[in-house]
Amino acid sequence: MENQQENSSIISEQVKVNGNLTALSLTTEGKLQWTTEKGQHSLTVEKEVLGFTIQGSKIIIKAVTEKQDGCFASAGGGALARKNFVFEPLSDESLHLWWRPKRLFIFVNPFGGKKSALKIYFDVVKPLLEDADVQITVQETKYQLHAKEVVCAMDLTKYDGIVCVSGDGILVEVVNGLLEREDWKAAIKMPLGTVPAGTGNGMVKSTLDSAGEPCTASNAVVAIIRGHKCSLDVATILQGDTKFFSVLMFAWGLVADIDIESEKYRWMGSARLDFYGLQRMLCLRQYSGRISFVPAPGFEAYGEPTRYNGEFTSTHSSINPSQEQHVKAEQYSYQGPDVDLTNLEWRTINGPFISVWLHNVPWGGEDTMAAPDAKFADGNLDLILIKDCPKLGLLALMTNLSDGGHVKSPHVMYLKVKAFILEPGQRTKDPTKGGIIDIDGEVLARGNGTYKHDQKTLMTYDKLQITVDQGLATLFCPVQQ
């Protein structure tokens, strides 16, 4: 039985080999096997396959095989001959299984998490990519938004993918850079990979966990080398003419406060979140405000009916001549999903709120399964909402974050939404102070009296809107089991 498992097929399908239709399989032992009129044939990938190229619908495998009466056999000590084998999958989907990245652009963030990204790159990432004969171009990020600047200007035709050796922040910068390009429609199709080297690592945890693999740097790199891809939803956050694109999560209230205010304990690594989280639960805050949303099918019972009155469309009606050229250039970039929000069925919930948390993927960090039902490309965001909860109940709830058990709490509303509007308010016990709006681990907006409230932010602490573009981006990910 053990032998049978070792020889199980990773790929098994009908193809043309040198023009003849046959069954081809790739086993877990690393053998390509097929049958012709001359009998059973096999190639050991590690020993005999030199490499392969894809030309149109054909895969040309270059190999060295042992000569044997004009045919070939597995290499075993005889004279070796170079030989090409032409495989032709019968579908585009099958052809994609053979695609592998050969040229990768890699961002390394030396400042994230425990500042271990450079060590991870040199100890794990570089050796594995070199073994796979992948050409590497490396860029260390030197300041916030550096990766975004590089991506906006780089020649994407030179690369088969972009890899971020970092936490989630650099990936978010890359996505925003791709969508701000004039050629964003082609640019956003660039496959993106992540290698865990930050505090959260929610995206790479989500991709690896979806295939039952541990969240390690080596597993992440191997998934990139294999070249399997999946689609990823992208959320557009809009406030007036200001846009930001998100791929991980959006938070306001308890989760945002813990995520951002715990930065003063960054030296503790990921333990800072648990440490500061306990402090915040003991001194619990609630925020006045209002949320409106378009529920996904099956979640229409949440909230009360309302009408869309967002008025978020960018009209640029009062633009002075000096701004005109910038606006014209901006219009060539991605403007967000094309959807008429006025004709959708909106619902609303009024505060006060302890926490409002939207998630695009299941994991917010390696130890936090924020949204256990989240999918990478379902066109929805998962909303985890807490309006009221006793402190002991909240503590029990937060201890269940590691396995997603918190969403079963009677104090949690868990639903899927297709569009969302936040109208943030002040703290109920101290109306002079507002809250923090957190997007993918970075501050999007700060209210008065908040942590580092004097620092400039992309948006103001005011009404904003979120819409989702289904499957817009592309991720490297492991093959699903």
Gap between the Cα atoms of 336 and 341, Å rounded: 12
Residue recorded with tokens 């058990």: 405
Residue recorded with tokens 């809250």: 435
Gap between the Cα atoms of 325 and 339, Å rounded: 26
Gap between the Cα atoms of 345 and 295, Å rounded: 8
Helices (H), 154-304: 168-179, 184-187, 202-209, 217-226, 254-261, 271-282
Q: Between the CA of residue 442 and those of 83, 97, 103, 210, what are the distances in Å? A: 53, 36, 30, 25
Task: At 387, list the tokens.
Answer: 């309006």
For 261, list phi and psi in degrees, rounded to 5.
-70, -20
Quick check: is 430 catalytic? no
Other Cβ atoms less than 10 A from the Cβ of 70: the count is: 6
Output DSSP code: residue 479.
P
Output DSSP code: residue 353.
B
Cis peptide before 352 (omega within 30 of 0): yes
Which of 168, 257, 382, 469 is catalytic? The answer is 168
C-alpha dihedral, 260 to 206 to 201 to 119, nearest 10°: 180
Map residue 283 onto helix, strand or coil. Answer: coil
Output DSSP code: residue 154.
S
Gap between the Cα atoms of 437 and 44, Å rounded: 54
Task: At 7, list the tokens.
Answer: 């020889």
226 within 8 A of 26, measured Cβ to Cβ: no
Which burial class, exposed, middle or buried, applies to 51 when counting CB atoms under 10 A from its CB (0-12, 13-18, 19+)? exposed
The distance from CA 28 to its chain's CA centroid, rounded to whole angstroms, is 28
Map residue 450 onto helix, strand or coil. Answer: coil
Q: Tell me the CB-side half-sphere exposure of residue 375, using CA atoms within 13 A.
A: 13
Total count of residues recorded for the chain: 481
* Sign for the pseudo-dihedral over CA of 192, 195, 196, 199: negative
Q: What is the largest distance, in Å, between two alpha-carbon atoms of the chain?
A: 88
- Nearest-CA neighbor of 45 among 63, 60, 71? 63
Residue positions annotated with a catalytic role: 168
